[in-house]
Amino acid sequence: MGTYMDNRASLLIRLGEQVRNCRIASRLTVAEFAQRASLSPRFVNQLEAGRGNISIVNLAMAALALNRNLHELIPPDATDRSLQAQVWSSLSRLNNGELHELQQWLEKRQGGGPPARFFAMLGVRLAGKSTIGRLLAKKLQTDFLELDRSIEAAAGMPVGEIFAMHGEAYYRWLERQELEKVFATSQGCVLEPGGSIVSDRDSWERIKQRCFTIWVDAPPAVFTGRLRGAHDMQATENRTLGLAGLKALLKRRNPLYAECQFKVKAVGEPSDAVAQIMKALAAPATSRRLRGTITPARKELYGIDH
């Protein structure tokens, strides 16, 4: 009985330390974290002190509030000296980029097939991402996937209702979960995430790690005609935003979209934009309009031969 209680106390202490470290890294006060996680500040203090036996549901809410995955809050057992435990301990300290490099190494080591190729279409709503993305997927003979449709399927409700009933934090959590599911289960695809995904640091960094990123850009005036022809709820909300609001949105997001590796103007026929993308993919990496450096590992990931 004593050993069980000792192990239990040790786990709670290590869990509390992990939560506290993540909270501090997120620059949240106890009160701010408690509010986001729907916990009382008193319980958060008990949890971080190693005296709070938190339920799995509340721990999931804590992970959401800290912008972390659930497993990141569960620390390895420091007393377990088995090889598996040591590997798990090492893995828990890796960031997403390092984990991906490890995954690529393991696939080579185990003689797996070529790495999956992912292409992400970025830009604001009605820029033409879906139309161009579907044509590009057909050209590349791969799947086309709209991330919001996967999020809606997971939540059992439209995106608008997710925001209305649960707020942005829950949507972002679903977004991260579904994004990881795509990378874990797909053999490659042309992916269209929501235009606001660049506002979520973790998801945006993950996309840049795994995908060849394409910014589908269009002048603000182009959106006016497209808004008049759109009839869904989000398009209606965009109409109320107005041209001035759209310009302000573009001003905020364009510096993030500019981190994409290729930019295409969606002002002509969609097939013209696809032809530009295909030409860029076929060209040597040094001649592309890339934003930043592509390492050899990332060249292989994107299926780049040069």
CA dihedral sign, ordered 196, 198, 203, 208: positive
Sheet bearing 262-265, strands edge to edge: 143-146, 188-192, 117-122, 211-217, 262-265
CATH of residue 76's domain is 1.10.260.40
CB 133 within 8 A of CB 213: no
CB atoms within 10 A of CB 122: 29
Do residues 68 and 128 share a domain? no
* Tens-place pLDDT, residues 163-179: 999 888 889 989 998 99
CA–CA separation, 131 vs 129, rounded Å? 6
CA–CA separation, 257 vs 123, rounded Å? 7
Do residues 101 and 81 share a domain? no
Range of the domain at 25: 2-91
* Tens-place pLDDT, residues 93-116: 666 567 667 776 776 776 655 566
Do residues 62 and 83 share a domain? yes
CB atoms within 10 A of CB 28: 19
Domain termination site, one of 91, 117, 146: 91
Do residues 125 and 82 share a domain? no
CB 216 within 8 A of CB 121: yes
Tokens matching residue 64: 């959401």
CA–CA separation, 21 vs 74, rounded Å? 12
Q: How many domains does the chain have?
A: 2
| pLDDT per residue of the chain (306 residues) written in tens, 0 to 9 | 455 556 778 888 888 988 988 888 788 889 989 988 889 999 999 999 999 889 988 898 898 888 777 777 877 666 677 777 777 677 766 665 676 677 767 767 766 555 668 999 999 887 889 999 999 999 999 999 999 999 999 889 999 999 999 888 889 989 998 998 898 888 899 999 989 999 998 899 999 988 999 999 987 666 665 555 544 434 434 444 566 777 788 888 889 999 999 999 888 889 999 999 999 888 765 444 444 333 333 344 434 333
Classify burial at 26, counting beta carbons within 10 Å of its beta carbon; exposed 0-12, middle 13-18, buried 19 or more: middle
Do residues 234 and 145 share a domain? yes
Is there a domain that residue 306 lies in?
Answer: no
